[in-house]
Amino acid sequence: MRAMDRRKFLRLAAAAAALPAGASLLEACSPASPNQVTSRALPRPGAPVALQFNGSPIAPGLAPERNATLRVYEWRQYLAPWVIRSFEAKYARTGVRVELTSFENRDVAAATVAAPGATFDVFFPTVDQLAPLTTLGVLRPLTHDYLANLANVWPAFAPPTGPYFDPGVRYSVPYTVYSTGIGWRRDLVRAQDAPPVLRDPCDVFGDPRYRGRAGVLDAYREPLAMIMQMQGVRDLNGAGAPELSRAADELIRFAQGNGLRISEDGDYQGLATGEFAVHQAWSGDILAARRFGGAEPAATDRRLAYWWMQDGGVVGCDLLAVTAAGQNPVLAHLFLNHLLDLDVAMRNFAWNGYQPPLVGASTEAFASDRWGRAVPAHLLDTTIITPERYAAGASLAPLSPAADSAWIAEWRRVQSAVSA
């Protein structure tokens, strides 16, 4: 069960590198000018920018649609089957049936959900898709009366202020959070070479003992951001050409001198099987790696370790939204509310490995028998993010087309060096 394929597909954001420089995320889906969004201020942590309020929210107090097919457009294998069954059971009196359609590329997904005739009810947008999708009227403004479980979300995502990219929680609710760091095999990397004990944790990528068995994510912003932070860059979203170039040069040095690799699944499958000794990783992938370690997941758990910069390292989140064209807006709201229920979210986490940002989803909860002790004890402090650590983290916020092109250009240099 490849529950972590969603992360593999997020890496296909790097497929934007195959587009012409500065190409718009939604150019394929509308003749409207999505670039008009870039003329507005870009949202940043501490400097939120309100989304253009476009569309009509539903009235409060409406009954759920009856005998409906709720159409959910999801990253492949990102929702546990139990979540779907439990929602259908909860609203069985309405006769609802949930129909899942999966996507593997976020840009194709945005074009599909925005196309004329699309009738999906629920969509999983990324942070940088919100402004274009709301400008084009693709997403429905949320009616909070149906979202009682918003009371469960972390302060960073809660109304009345909400996240910097969606002030007021008007178009999206949080689904999962994660950090970006380094994963390694404790049986393959010497204790004295482990990232936490090094002056620069990224030096492990250049250690000749791990030549050809060190890797970084195939996601153009995360590897560059990781190196820039180690080089002292604090404003990742404002990084200019010199900072980006120095970070790319470092990754190229690792590639040319030590065989650094770029992979799509090395941080979970590659580490679990021993193909990689060390790999840049998303926290959720480390927690899912046990699925790929063969017949002894407990042994895989013991071998894996994870580090990230807990006082300002890169963090991210995934979102849920209701579409404007959907035929079942009440049930769509109730589905979002279902996923914000603590028990539902924790059971979903036990399946997909990505942490729900809910108040009750504490470190203690992840170690609880109630939810199957889903996180090994030695990974609790490193893979689980607290609200405080998330608030202190560095979010890779939306970029202007020019800035995005600069990141892509440097990542292309790294890719060329790795493939040379």
Q: pLDDT (tens digit, 9 = 90+) per residue, 214-230? A: 999 998 999 999 999 99
Mean pLDDT of 306-324: 96
All residues at 6 or more sequence positions from 81 whose CB lies less than 8 Å from its CB, including other chains: none
Q: Which residue has the tokens 């690799």?
A: 261
**Whole-angstrom Cα distance, residue 365 to residue 373?**
8
CB atoms within 10 A of CB 146: 23
Per the prediction, the chain carries an average pLDDT of: 88
DSSP 368: -
How many helices and strands (H and E) does the chain possess? 15, 10
Q: Output the DSSP codes for 170-225.
A: -S-EEEEEEEEEEEEETTTS-GGGSGGGSSSGGGGGG-GGGTTSEEEES-SHHHHH
All residues at 6 or more sequence positions from 379 whose CB lies less than 8 Å from its CB, including other chains: 286, 287, 301, 304, 305, 306
Mean pLDDT of 364-389: 88
Mean pLDDT of 38-67: 89
What is the pLDDT, as a whole number, of residue 9? 42
- Helix (H, G, I), strand (E, B), or coil: what is residue 315? strand
CA proximity to 381, closest of 305, 297, 317, 288: 305
Please answer whether residues 330 and 410 qualify as being in contact, where contact means their C-beta atoms are separated by less than 8 angstroms. no
* pLDDT above 60 for 240: yes
Confidence of residue 296 (pLDDT cuts 50, 70, 90): low
**Whole-angstrom Cα distance, residue 9 to residue 51?**
26
- Helix (H, G, I), strand (E, B), or coil: what is residue 394? strand
Mean pLDDT of 147-151: 98
* pLDDT above 70 for 3: no
**Whole-angstrom Cα distance, residue 248 to residue 192?**
26
Which residues in 37-78 belong to E strands, given as ranges? Answer: 69-75
CA proximity to 8, closest of 65, 76, 61: 76
Q: Which domains, ranges and CATH numbers included, belong to the chain? A: 5-31+42-177+317-376 (3.40.190.10), 179-314+397-419 (3.40.190.10)
Please answer whether residues 6 and 75 qualify as being in contact, where contact means their C-beta atoms are separated by less than 8 angstroms. yes
**Whole-angstrom Cα distance, residue 419 to residue 391?**
37
Mean pLDDT of 399-404: 94
pTM attached to this predicted model: 0.89
CA proximity to 284, closest of 86, 88, 112, 75: 75
* pLDDT above 90 for 330: yes
Q: 214-217 and 261-263 as β-strands: parallel, antiparallel, unpaired?
A: parallel
Give how far Cα 321 sits from Cα of 72, 123, 177, Å: 10, 5, 16
Provide the sign of the torsion angle of the four alpha carbons 58, 61, 66, 68, taken in this order.
Answer: positive
Q: 122-123 and 97-103 as β-strands: parallel, antiparallel, unpaired?
A: unpaired
Q: How many CA atoms lie within 13 A of 382 on its CB side?
A: 23
What is the pLDDT, as a whole number, of residue 33? 29
Using omega within 30 degrees of 0 as the cis cutoff, is the peptide bond preceding 160 cis? Answer: yes
Give how far Cα 339 sits from Cα of 17, 34, 80, 89, 172, Å: 33, 30, 11, 14, 13
What is the pLDDT, as a whole number, of residue 383? 94
Confidence of residue 263 (pLDDT cuts 50, 70, 90): very high
* pLDDT above 60 for 133: yes
What is the pLDDT, as a whole number, of residue 60? 98
CA proximity to 75, closest of 136, 19, 9, 165: 9
Question: Helices 81-90 and 342-352: crossing angle, nearest 10°?
Answer: 160
What is the pLDDT, as a whole number, of residue 18? 34
